[in-house]
A and B are shown apart, each in its own frame.
Chain A
């Protein structure tokens, strides 16, 4: 059997009905994960693919909508993890929208000025979050400003209430430090950003605490972040690498 050649009319018609990238991705995902929320769709650096965020995860969808890859893309020549770069970019954009009225910030004290800022998704009842906060003075002394965002995990029942109680305290920073040292923050309630930040974390594919993100959205591995010296060095390195790129 032979197919007729495309006529100009067919081409025009096909074009008029061409699915948008969003529709293509939605249709492709519908068969695989019907309930998944598609957060974003954009051109992928890999030719022939859209890069989409579905349920906080990166997926690559062929432009004809037929194939979906749940995984990572690499640029071979530049040895770059393209997914990691995209993830960092998306996270940075999202974090930039979180105002100071939703964070608890610990800044370097004079005469030390802030050289770097990290955002830490944290949970009052997570042991590694507590260990991180024990060293807050050292991080600040290295010129690192720490912005905490609450992300109480469901595996810690009651942690969301504690987060709210801390948030609703008169002296938020002190209440936070006390709660991180194991003190009961009480039961205060008030309008608070905890549910919104929890949702934000999930939409960014953040599944654990503490999750530590650099200025540019890059996730810093816990092994590095637990040491104030190593974290400072890593942030210097990232800043230099970004400066070289721009």
Chain B
């Protein structure tokens, strides 16, 4: 089968709005394949994959690969054996960075080193999670290592849960950082309510693939995963962008 050349109509629509470009046959095949396998999936984006003959589909902060004919779906981590790069993580990092960077400073709880930070990580956190508390108990050490930690709330049990209410109370406290640190040490914050970004941050977390707490994002959007001691976090941040790959 041959597809017609671009018609004047298609060209016009490209000129007027790139966002509404007509869906290509491979896009449609990928969309159909996903609807077959995961009917409830909300597709963020379909685009050609670095893997020849495949489209990559971004769904809820995850990537899957669908063959151009829509017959096969591959789910997992795609590596380039020549450059030794994790292409899946690299692609997700691009979108994650955009989304995480879009959170303004006024909606973060920031613990920064005294001088200019070498690295800034964004940590999705839950006041009631053990490793989140462990991480925060070492906040001075992260800062000493030159790492700024920006917290966003991700109450794991969801919006309206007791952990969510605590997060709102901390956000609404007069001294937000002190209330945060106290809650991390196990104190119950005085119940407060005010306009707050907790629900919005929880939703953001689900969009960038947060599947537990803490989830740490590097400055380039790479998901570093869960808790890392200060020296290991520094080592990971320093090794980012180098093409060595820890597999298995």
Query: CB within 8 Å of B: which residues of A?
Result: 27-29, 31-33, 36, 45-48, 55, 57, 60-62, 65-77, 79
- State the main secondary structure of chain A at its contact with B: mixed
Query: A72 is contacted by which of B51, B53, B75, B248 (Cβ under 8 Å)?
Result: B75
A77 and B37 in contact, given A28-B81, A32-B84, A65-B81 (Cβ under 8 angstroms): no
Residues of A within 8 A of B36 (CB): 76-77, 79
Q: What are the residues of chain A within 8 A of B77 when measuring CB–CB? A: 69-71
B33 at the interface (CB under 8 A from A): yes
The 8 Å CB contact of B33, one of A27, A65, A72, A76, is A76
Q: Would you call B37 and A74 a contact (CB within 8 A)?
A: yes
18 other contacts beyond A57-B248, A72-B76, A76-B70, with CB at 8 A cut-off?
Answer: A36-B248, A47-B67, A47-B72, A60-B74, A62-B51, A69-B74, A71-B75, A71-B77, A73-B72, A73-B74, A74-B72, A74-B75, A76-B33, A76-B66, A76-B71, A76-B72, A77-B36, A79-B37
Contacts A76-B70, A76-B71: A32 and B245 contacting too (C-beta < 8 A)? yes
B79 touches A32 (CB 8 A): yes
The residue on A at minimum CB distance from B49 is A67
Chain B interfacial positions (CB closer than 8 Å to A)? 33, 36-37, 50-53, 65-67, 70-82, 84, 245, 247-248
CB within 8 A of A71: which of B51, B66, B72, B76?
Answer: B76
Which chain A residues lie closer than 8 Å to B66 at the CB level? 76
Given A47, A69, A74, which contacts B79 in the complex, CB threshold below 8 Å?
A69
Pick from A29, A72, A77: contact of B81, CB below 8 A.
A29
The 7 closest A-B pairs by CB, nearest first: A71-B76, A28-B81, A74-B73, A33-B247, A76-B33, A68-B79, A46-B72
Q: What's the A-B contact tally at a CB cutoff of 8 Å? A: 83
State the CA gap A75–B13 with chains docked (Å). Answer: 35
| Chain B residues closer than 8 Å to A67, beta-carbon distance | 50-51, 78-81
Q: Roughly how many angstroms separate A150 CA and B80 CA in the complex, as a whole number?
A: 38
- Contact status B74-A46, CB under 8 Å: yes
Residue from A62, A69, A77 whose CB has the most chain B CB atoms within 10 Å: A69
Chain B residue numbers with a CB within 8 Å of A47 are: 67, 72
What are 15 A-B residue pairs whose CB atoms fall within 8 Å in the complex? A32-B79, A32-B247, A46-B67, A48-B53, A55-B248, A57-B248, A62-B51, A62-B52, A67-B78, A68-B79, A69-B65, A71-B77, A73-B73, A74-B73, A77-B71
| Known contacts A46-B74, A69-B65: A76-B37 contact under CB 8 Å | yes
In this complex, what residue of A is CB-closest to B65? A69
Specify which chain B residues have a CB less than 8 angstroms from the CB of A76 in the assembled complex: 33, 36-37, 66, 70-73
The SS class assigned to the B binding surface is: mixed
In chain B, what residue has the closest Cβ to A25? B81
Instruction: Point out the residue from B37, B52, B53, B76 that lies within 8 Å of A69, measured CB to CB.
Output: B76
Name the A residues within 8 Å of B245 (CB-CB).
32
Task: Select one of A31, A46, A65, A71 contacting B84, CB under 8 A.
Answer: A31
* CA–CA, A69 and B72, complex, Å: 13
Shortest beta-carbon distance, B232 to chain A, in Å?
Answer: 21
Least CB distance, A74 to chain B, in whole angstroms: 4
Complex contacts, B78 vs chain A, CB 8 Å: 67-69
B80 cross-chain contacts in A, Cβ below 8 A: 66-67
A67 to B80, CA, bound (A): 5
> What is the CB-to-nearest-CB distance from B58 to chain A, in angstroms, rounded to a whole number?
16
Q: A14 → chain B, closest Cβ, in Å? A: 19
Report A79 CB to chain B, min CB distance, Å: 6
**In the complex, what residues of A have CB within 8 A of residue B53's CB?**
48
The distance in angstroms between the C-alpha atoms of A45 and B76, with both chains bound, is: 17
The docked-state distance in angstroms from the alpha carbon of A102 to that of B70 is: 45
Least CB distance from A223 to B in Å reads 21
Measured CA separation A62–B70 after assembly (Å): 18
> Which of A27, A46, A61, A76 is packed against the most chain B CB atoms within 10 Å?
A76
- Residues of B near A36 (CB, < 8 A) are 247-248
CA distance A229 to B84 in the complex (A): 49
Q: How far is the CA of A155 from the CA of B245 in the complex (A)?
A: 27
Contact in complex: A68, B81 (CB < 8 Å) = yes
A131 and B33 alpha carbons, distance in the complex (Å):
41
Contacts of A75 in B (CB 8 A): 71-72
**How far is B67's CA from A73's CA once the two chains are assembled, in angstroms?**
11
State in angstroms the CA–CA spacing of A155 and B76 once bound together: 28
Q: How far is the CA of A61 from the CA of B36 in the complex (A)?
A: 25
Q: What residues of chain B lie closer than 8 Å to A31, measured between beta carbons?
A: 81-82, 84
Give the complex CA separation of A67 and B79 in angstroms.
Answer: 6
